[in-house]
Amino acid sequence: MTVRTAEFTAALLLILASLGLMWKSTDGLSIGWISGAGPGSGFWPFWLSVIMLLSSIAILIRCYLQATPESRDTSSFVDRETVWIVGLTVLALFFLLLASSFVGMYLSLMAFLLFYLRFLGGHSWRLSIALMIFIPSFVFFFFEYLMTIPLPKGITEPLFFPIYRLIY
């Protein structure tokens, strides 16, 4: 696949996604302004989808007219190294989701971050461990405390009981 083909394909897929989102946001939702109440429940999804549709059409036209360097580029869109890195990332994300039901989201996220940052990204141990601790802690605080949406904890749930006593 060439860069030109990838740009054209992405524009077409975004047009289809925009039309789907526009259709879905009118399904029983108000896309207009409600006097005295503000925007309807489908207002933002619909109008942001319209903007995405117009942008995608502009990309498609510029690609057809070959108005950008990317639209004239017939070189390969991805190389072997990129395919390898994307494949490893997808595999790591699969294991993150699989492990989250057994050992919980937070422990799975820590393992994913360690693999991704240290071994795939080549970052230092200090940065990898700092982010491995900070990001799951932030996710826990955001979902569990601020939004009161529990994420799966699997067999690690008893470890969270003391934290629950502190925050609830």
Q: For 31-80, how does the pLDDT look when each residue is reduced to its tens digit (9 = 90+)?
A: 777 777 778 788 888 999 999 999 999 999 999 999 989 888 888 888 88
Last residue of a domain, one of 38, 72, 106: 72
* Residue 103 sits in the same domain as residue 129: yes
Q: What's the chain's average pLDDT?
A: 91
pLDDT, position 25: 87
Q: CA torsion 120→125→127→131, rounded to 10°? A: 70
Mean pLDDT, residues 123-152:
92
Last residue of a domain, one of 72, 94, 110: 72
* Residue 19 sits in the same domain as residue 57: yes
CA 143 to chain CA centroid, Å, is 16
User: Which of 127, 131, 125 lies closest to 112, judged by CA?
Assistant: 131
Q: State how many domains the chain has.
A: 2
Whole-prediction pTM: 0.63
pLDDT, position 5: 92
pLDDT, position 41: 80
Between β-strands 33-34 and 38-39, what pairing exists: parallel, antiparallel or unpaired?
Answer: antiparallel
Spatial contact of 161 and 144, defined as CB atoms under 8 Å apart: no
What is the span of the domain harbouring residue 124? 80-167
Integer-rounded Cα Rg, in Å, for the chain is 22
Q: For 76-108, how does the pLDDT look when each residue is reduced to its tens digit (9 = 90+)?
A: 888 889 899 999 999 999 999 999 999 999 999
